Chain A
């Protein structure tokens, strides 16, 4: 079950990053913020071959796109792969601005953590997400 805070925090994260490059990256970034940095996101993550993934986060992104708060643009990489990049729309930026001060007050580390994540490569964030503790299936694997 997600809450209004999840929506506001997610918008704040994307707003701080300006652009999030890729569906995989947004998954891994939010996972790191939740499990490593203890930002209280309610998205459930499960571990699979490609690292932690949250279906509820993916669905929330779809809701934000449908509501015109977020845009999804496709970038074709040199490898020929297509990447989905996420940016706030004008309406999304308004929501970001309206809640910015409150979020910075309640979660003073979120902005710096978000900006730091933006500088890492996709391989780095994937490795970090795979090493997070607190995801039930990942913890069991490590225990073995």
Chain B
């Protein structure tokens, strides 16, 4: 454990991560063996951030300015790795949209608040600059453009840790040679200014093949774990329970900083259960028989839905808000109670831009070299989940028609 962490490791905001499961509701539904926590992921990401910094420094030893910058920021980079997820609410991704709705803040914003207001400033006496760390986690200033890529980019240490850790804990024997992969990382760009550099990969056959393996595992983890159906439905149901009661003091209080840093999976569920019997029907993890069923699953494509520009802009900007808006409108159209239907628009993941270091030949992306990466195409799927009793009394065709109208008449 690095010296700057020793002095603050017992802080409640940090200890709290021990009682938040990394996979959130998925660990209560589809993967009960996945008992690993946010804390172990934080430690793993921190370790990899340090390792990546060392490797990059040794690789670009001719670029003195960059090496100096990396070495002098090693502790800050490791701290950013450790703190990057501290602002996640319990059941993280199920609560992200709720937190944004109630507080207007993302988990990165919340991380900034915790670092500024909760983490003792004695950490700064150990060489950590809170502002630098915050900017690496949530870059608002492009001065940190390169350093933030170690924490948040297609090749970041966060992804490297969670893919391997999550795969191991859910029982998938997916793996790749992490050390070999890290050795192919490089800094592309102008050696006089780190701000203009980008994190990329060597333009070698070995780097391309290792990265293909990484991309395939990343894609498979989304399809088989992160978006697995029952857990996904349970997460959306939990989100709706919070949204239904978002004006209750008990719920708002969960997202106030002083309460937030004490909250964990269990305390959040206790609060919801305590609100009343109405919330119970949304808590599928307490009774999986309550789990909503799939009423519709269809790709959002022009041949089935004539989408207008407003709909597509909203789809790009905030898919969670759009899904919620359609859920409410669908219940109104079909004259049912709020959230008897839950719309869930899922944008499939495609690898973001990964550059290869072939600067002499011009810009080269992994996509240009890899057939495997090239065939991963973007896809958007509309799903509607419904309470089993409600679904029983409806023809699926009626739901399909209502959704079609809502999408096509969207303003």
Interface residues of A (CB under 8 A from B): 1-8, 11, 23-24, 46-50, 53, 55-56, 58-60, 62-69, 74, 79, 81-84, 89, 91, 95, 136-137, 141
CB distance from B206 to the nearest CB of A (A): 18
Given A1-B317, A62-B350, A67-B380, decide whether A50 and B300 contact each other with a Cβ distance below 8 A: no
In the complex, what residues of B have CB within 8 A of residue A67's CB? 300-302, 307, 312, 380
Number of interface residues of B (CB under 8 A): 43
Contact status B374-A68, CB under 8 Å: no
The CB with the most chain A CB atoms within 10 A, among B310, B313, B352, is that of B313
B26 at the interface (CB under 8 A from A): no
A58 neighbours in B (Cβ, 8 Å) = 352-353
How far is it, in angstroms, between the C-alpha of A82 and the C-alpha of B309 when the chains are bound?
A: 30
Give the complex CA separation of A6 and B314 in angstroms.
11
Bound Cα distance A60, B350 (Å): 13
Pairs A–B under 8 Å by Cβ, sample size 25: A1-B317, A4-B310, A4-B313, A7-B312, A23-B367, A24-B363, A46-B142, A49-B197, A49-B359, A50-B198, A62-B347, A63-B347, A63-B380, A66-B348, A66-B378, A67-B380, A69-B302, A74-B374, A82-B367, A82-B368, A82-B369, A89-B302, A91-B306, A137-B142, A141-B196
- B355 at interface by CB-CB < 8 Å: yes
Chain B nearest CB, measured from A30 CB (Å): 15
Which of A3, A84, A137 is the one whose CB lies under 8 Å from B145?
A137
Interface SS of chain A: helix
Closest to A58 in B: B353
- Of the residues B145, B313, B380, contact of A2 by C-beta under 8 Å: B313
**Residues of A contacting B365 in the complex (Cβ-Cβ under 8 angstroms):** 23
CB-based closest 7 A-B pairs = A49-B189, A4-B309, A68-B302, A91-B302, A7-B309, A62-B378, A137-B142
Complex contacts, B359 vs chain A, CB 8 Å = 49
Q: List B contacts of A69 (CB < 8 A).
A: 302
Residues of B within 8 A of A (CB): 142, 145, 188-190, 193, 195-198, 300-303, 306-310, 312-313, 315-317, 347-348, 350, 352-353, 355, 359, 361, 363-365, 367-369, 374, 377-380
Bound: A117/B199 CA distance, A: 30
Q: A63, B312: Cβ atoms under 8 Å?
A: yes
**Separation in Å of the B369 CB from the closest CB of chain A?**
8
Q: Is the CB of B309 within 8 A of A55?
A: no
| A136–B142 touching, CB < 8 Å | yes
**A95 contacts across to B, CB distance below 8 A:** 309
